[in-house]
Amino acid sequence: MSNIKNKKILLGITGGIAGYKSAELCRLLIKQQAEVRVCMTQSATEFISPLTLQALSTKPVHTDLFDHEAEAAMGHIELAKWADIIIIAPATANTIAKIAHGFADNLLTTIILASHAKLYIAPAMNQNMWQQPQTQQNIQQLASLNIKTLGPAHGIQACGDTGMGRMLEAREIIAELAKNTPQTLLTNTTILITAGPTQEALDPVRYLSNRSSGKMGYAIAKAALQMGAKVRLISGPVNLPEPIGVETIKIQSAQQLLTSCQQYAGDSDIFIATAAVADFRPIVQSQQKIKKQDDRDKLTIELTKNPDILATISHDFPHLFTLGFAAETEQLITSAKKKLKSKKLDMIAANQVGDNLGFEKNDNAIELIWHDGQISLPMMDKQNLAFKLLSLLAKHYRNCNAAY
């Protein structure tokens, strides 16, 4: 599914020869199933007819702040509120300067000032105009206002110069928009994710743990957020920054992980367990540092079983859609399938580990298994893998919920 499907996009066109590319952009946006409305400055209408854009968008084109008829149909404030995304293509040096300094002297700049939509500009101008420090400062000002500049490209210009200033091609603009627009497959879901290792204390300075870096779980948390979910991440000790926009809860031991999961599972919809939980913990946690003691060559530490967090949560909170990870050094699929059943999960990601695989690495590969199917997600960057995994999970989650 395209990221811009169903998005309400206002296409702003300003006066430049690249205006002819805006017609193609309008057509491609509609092909992506975006809802498109067009606003043109007066000078844009000198380069391309509003009628062309009206025919392509099948909606009246907005050109005039003081057009009573157009304002009565959809006023500029309504249009500003309507848009999810505003893309100005082409954006002239003049309009860029106006936006950078908050001018609102025509319909387009007024809408921009009145809107909270994500704003993109695709500059198009002569290479000298682009290089001028005034323009470059304006572009920097836009970046500081969280306005994204797409392009320009280098090449031969309409005036005969060669250099930076050509507007990106319509398909390139679409690709940039899609890349920067969050996927919404997980909108209206709350996802609880566990990540990283647990540390099981032996004494105040020593613990039992494992090699999990948290990279897989954190990548899933970031992807879930971008895909529209509300995300809570319960994390063991890792050296990763807390993902912005994700509520991150830090724990150390398996027992703390369980308590935290129990606290948040009730108001979650999906539970994803990537954490590498210690299966056992020392029965005794010495209050003091265990001494070496020269008279002994051996130290025996007795361990007791930790709770199985995933199995407990899936049992106690049956409303949750559950995805476990099975880290295996042998019999990958058979063992993962056993865990899928014994822990009563909806899905499991069979993860080959050992031999420099899985743990700590930036790349990973999994076999995603559910009760009547499975699919291989080959070796790739953990962030990419997270997006692919969640797209598949979202499909199953929606199917599962549609059944009720």
Residue 397 identity: Y
Residue of the chain from 279, 365, 391, 396 that contacts ligand PMT (CB under 6 A): 279
Residue of the chain from 186, 339, 352, 389 that contacts ligand PMT (CB under 6 A): 339
Please tell me what DSSP assigns to residue 188: T
Smallest separation, CB 396 to ligand PMT (Å): 17
Our CB check for ligand PMT shows the closer of 148 and 250 to be 250
* String of contacts with ligand PMT for each residue 147-186, x by CB under 6 A: ----------------------------------------
Q: Report how far residue 16's alpha carbon sits from residue 26's, in angstroms, rounded to the nearest whole number.
A: 16
Q: Does 275 bind ligand PMT (CB under 6 A)?
A: yes
Interface of this chain with ligand PMT, residues 357 to 396, rule: CB under 6 A: 358-360
**159: annotated active-site residue:** yes
Residue of the chain from 88, 254, 385, 389 that contacts ligand PMT (CB under 6 A): 254
Q: Does 214 bind ligand PMT (CB under 6 A)?
A: yes
Rg, C-alpha atoms of the chain: 27
Residue of the chain from 44, 100, 216, 390 that contacts ligand PMT (CB under 6 A): 216
Q: Report how far residue 63's alpha carbon sits from residue 48's, in angstroms, rounded to the nearest whole number.
A: 12
317-327 burial code (b ≥16 CB/10 A, e <16)? beebbbbbbbb
Q: Does 78 bind ligand PMT (CB under 6 A)?
A: no
Q: Report how far residue 339's alpha carbon sits from residue 69's, in angstroms, rounded to the nearest whole number.
A: 65
Residue tagged 């076999």 (tokens): 367
Interface of this chain with ligand PMT, residues 301 to 320, rule: CB under 6 A: 306, 308-310
* Helix, coil or strand: residue 57: helix
Q: Report how far residue 262's alpha carbon sits from residue 379's, in angstroms, rounded to the nearest whole number.
A: 33
Our CB check for ligand PMT shows the closer of 181 and 253 to be 253
Smallest separation, CB 370 to ligand PMT (Å): 15
Residue tagged 């400055």 (tokens): 41
Q: Report how far residue 58's alpha carbon sits from residue 179's, in angstroms, rounded to the nearest whole number.
A: 26
**Residue 155 contacts residue 166 (beta carbons within 8 Å):** yes
Smallest separation, CB 213 to ligand PMT (Å): 3
Cβ within 8 Å of residue 297, ≥6 positions away: none
Binding positions for ligand PMT, rule: CB under 6 A: 194, 196, 212-216, 254, 273-277, 279, 306, 308-310, 324-327, 339, 351, 353, 358-360
Report the catalytic residues: 159
